[in-house]
Amino acid sequence: MRIWAVSDGRAGIEAQALGLAEAVARLRPALISVKRIGWRAGLGRLPWRLIPPAARTGDPIEPPYPDIWIAAGRATLPLSTRMLAWAEGRTFVVQTQNPRAPLDRFDLVIPPKHDGLSGPNVVAILGAPNRLSPERLAVEHARFAEQLAPLPRPRVAVIVGGRSKAHDLPVARAQAMAAVVSDAVTAARGSVLVSFTRRTPAPAREAMAAAFRRLPGIVWDGAGDNPYFAFLADADAILVTEDSTNLATDAAATGKPLFVLPMAGRSAKLARFHAELERRGIARPFAGELTAEPYPPLAETDRAARELLRRYDGSA
């Protein structure tokens, strides 16, 4: 079975399409091809209906089309919405997130529950599809085991997002966040495993890195191999900023104690998401504690993959 994972190549967006594709491949042998696309002359900012497919840049999108097309992100909509017609129904078309397009353009839509989308071809999940699996965590942890082994426990992963439409991380907030986390880690005589994202503003990154380097641990500076998954696998507790569905979903897939760090700004959708995590006993706002009751690892990507294959088989 051939699967295309299609996105604009941004890490968080690509992880949704690729994570779902990998979950399908764990259930049924499949060849996954990653497709990264863009649009010339700023056309990607237009409504999807107005973007001519011929203006596409990036990887080839041409026959033979795959058995399953899994796309994520706004940039893919000019292609995803036409794929059923182009492939004459022989490609099963899946879109993650809320496409804000007619649902009949897709075989299956997999949005986060907090978007409130519903329909006969909609399977809503808590959070977003991700690339986490016990096997991947074990492999990534082994790659960095030598660097991690000397660090005192508890080891606290601190995963920092950044600027978005709804949130920001000004220096003052970043410094306050680092101080609160540092106090908790110091009191526990532990260490930190710090990873920033591409959206973390440089001044905030520098301020937090300076604070956290006073503690035992690792502050990843962006050079060399990314230890993000190893940090999640090794941590005794995980702290994530509130601006990202992906970060919290990844952390929740580990079953580790999970705490949410507040940022400047507010998103009603993300507030609903975090409230549901708290209701399920998965996450809570960070209040200085680093321990919490255990919970089953969140496995929504696997659930979505099972439903995808069930519907794919029914469409054949």
Instruction: Compute and round to an integer the Cα radius of gyration of the chain.
Output: 20
Q: Which residue, 298, 303, 261, is CA-closest to 282? A: 298
pLDDT at 12 over 80: yes
Q: Are 71 and 7 in contact (CB under 8 A)?
A: yes
Burial class (CB in 10 A: 0-12, 13-18, 19+), 202: exposed
pTM of the model: 0.90
- Quick one: average pLDDT of 98-123? 96
Q: Half-sphere exposure (CA, 13 Å, Cβ side) for 231?
A: 25
Percent of the chain past pLDDT 90, that is, above it, reads: 94
Structure tokens at 260: 């949410």
Burial class (CB in 10 A: 0-12, 13-18, 19+), 189: exposed
Please report how the helices 11-27 and 245-252 are oriented relative to each other, as an axis angle in degrees rounded to 10: 40
Q: Residue 223: what pLDDT? A: 84
Domains in the chain and their CATH numbers? 2-126+301-315 (3.40.50), 134-285 (3.40.50.2000)
pLDDT at 71 over 80: yes
Q: How confident is the model at residue 315 (pLDDT cuts 50, 70, 90)?
A: confident
Bridge partners (DSSP) of residue 176 are none
- Quick one: average pLDDT of 96-124? 96
Q: What is the mean pLDDT of the chain?
A: 95
Sign of the Cα torsion 53, 55, 58, 64 reads positive
Tell me whether strands 56-58 and 31-39 are parallel, antiparallel or unpaired. antiparallel
Q: Residue 203: what pLDDT? A: 96
